[in-house]
């Protein structure tokens, strides 16, 4: 037997599913039923299908309806201050993949800092999970109703080689530069939900040049590859923040692709925002690299070589 119940918003989803779907898993175990979630294309609700024998499905639905009825008498869960952004070290639980969690102490501090501050700057080497964890935190914040949309941006700077003219419309031209971000969200959401959220502008991935003049409210905003921003671009980006928004700035100062005479905005920001309340730094180190173990050794070898040959 199959029966479906609609969850109309983030508060109802949190009431029924619980933090990291903990209440839903407990319901499955208690009632001996299977539950399946289909998210709305708009990203602000879902359909919950319960599968099992008639009596067990009816009991499960009765419990869900009771939770929803009690929830209408309470303050919206998305406004409660005692909700923890993640439990058991898990940040986000994809529907068809393993849970996403912090794997080092610095990664855990990074996540905690993101949820405790409105602006977080993370500087560290490649492979430490800065981009992936920021995307996971953004999805968690959306799931909890803390924000209404996610916006990810990065400067369009070529890494050492000139690609020349690229065919297609503007989206096709910038797509290769934004591909790492697409991949991160695709892995966490799956193809169908990723396309639905992107189509309905719940998830927006844009070049940094398109951010000028905007005010971004109720949003989780990520600036990736921030080492390739100019100081003026960094200032422009930071002043886009509107009410009820969070910003995360990620970058690696060892991989600056700007022309040699141009200063990186990520270098300048360390001094400019050092004593600004609400802005926090969450650095990553070589020991936080979670890619292939060889990556850590490669970066160490390059660092050693560059110290011996500073002119090259």
Q: Kindly report, residue by residue over 128-142, the tens digit of the pLDDT.
A: 889 999 999 998 888
Q: Report the CATH number of the 90-308 domain.
A: 3.40.50.300
Selected residue with higher pLDDT from 202 and 120: 120
Q: Determine the pLDDT at residue 288.
A: 81
For the chain, the distance separating the N- and C-terminal CA atoms, rounded to the nearest angstrom, is 69
Non-local CB neighbours of 32 within 8 Å, separated by 6+ positions: 52, 56
User: Does residue 83 register a pLDDT over 60?
Assistant: no
Q: How far is CA 117 from CA 71, 233, 277, in A?
A: 28, 22, 9
User: Would you give the distance in Å from CA 21 to the centre of its chain?
Assistant: 18
Span of 118-127, 150-159, 203-212 with lowest mean pLDDT: 150-159
Domain boundaries, the chain: 2-79, 90-308
Report which secondary-structure segment, H or E, holds 90: strand 90-92
Class of domain 2-79: alpha beta
Q: Determine the pLDDT at residue 42.
A: 60
Query: Would the pTM of this model clear 0.85, i.e. be above it?
Result: no
Return d(Cα 15, Cα 9) in angstroms, integer.
10
Return d(Cα 83, Cα 19) in angstroms, integer.
9
Span of 8-12, 174-178, 208-212 with lowest mean pLDDT: 174-178
3-state secondary structure 255-277: CCCCCCCCCCHHHHHHHHCCCCC
User: Does residue 76 register a pLDDT over 50?
Assistant: no
**Matching CATH topology for 2-79 and 90-308?**
no
């Amino acid at each position: 037997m199959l029966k479906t119940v609609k969850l109309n918003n983030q508060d109802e989803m949190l009431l029924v599913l619980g933090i990291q779907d903990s209440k839903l898993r407990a319901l499955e175990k208690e009632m001996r039923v299977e539950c399946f979630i289909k998210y709305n294309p708009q990203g602000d609700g879902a359909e919950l299908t319960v599968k099992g024998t008639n009596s067990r499905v009816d009991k499960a639905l009765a419990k869900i309806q009771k939770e929803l009825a009690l929830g209408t008498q309470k303050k919206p869960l998305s406004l409660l201050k005692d909700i923890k952004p993640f439990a058991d070290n898990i940040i986000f639980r994809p529907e068809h993949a393993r849970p996403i969690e912090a794997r080092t102490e610095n990664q855990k501090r990074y996540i905690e800092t993101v949820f405790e501050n409105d602006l977080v700057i993370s500087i560290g080497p490649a492979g430490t999970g800065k981009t992936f964890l920021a995307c996971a935190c953004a999805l968690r914040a959306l799931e909890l109703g803390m924000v209404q949309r996610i916006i990810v941006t990065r400067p369009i700077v070529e890494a050492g080689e000139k690609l020349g003219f690229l065919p297609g419309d503007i989206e096709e031209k910038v797509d290769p530069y934004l591909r790492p971000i697409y991949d991160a969200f695709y892995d966490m959401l799956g193809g169908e939900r990723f396309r639905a959220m992107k189509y309905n502008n719940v998830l927006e991935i844009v070049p940094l040049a398109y951010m000028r003049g905007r005010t971004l409210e109720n949003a989780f905003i990520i600036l990736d590859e921030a080492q390739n921003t100019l100081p003026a671009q960094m200032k422009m980006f930071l002043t886009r923040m509107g009410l009820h928004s969070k910003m995360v700035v990620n970058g690696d100062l060892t991989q600056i692709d700007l022309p040699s005479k141009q200063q990186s905005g990520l270098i300048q920001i360390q001094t400019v925002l050092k004593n600004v309340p609400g802005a926090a730094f969450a650095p990553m180190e070589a020991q936080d690299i979670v890619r292939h173990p060889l990556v850590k050794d490669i970066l160490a070898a390059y660092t050693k070589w560059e110290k011996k040959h500073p002119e090259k």
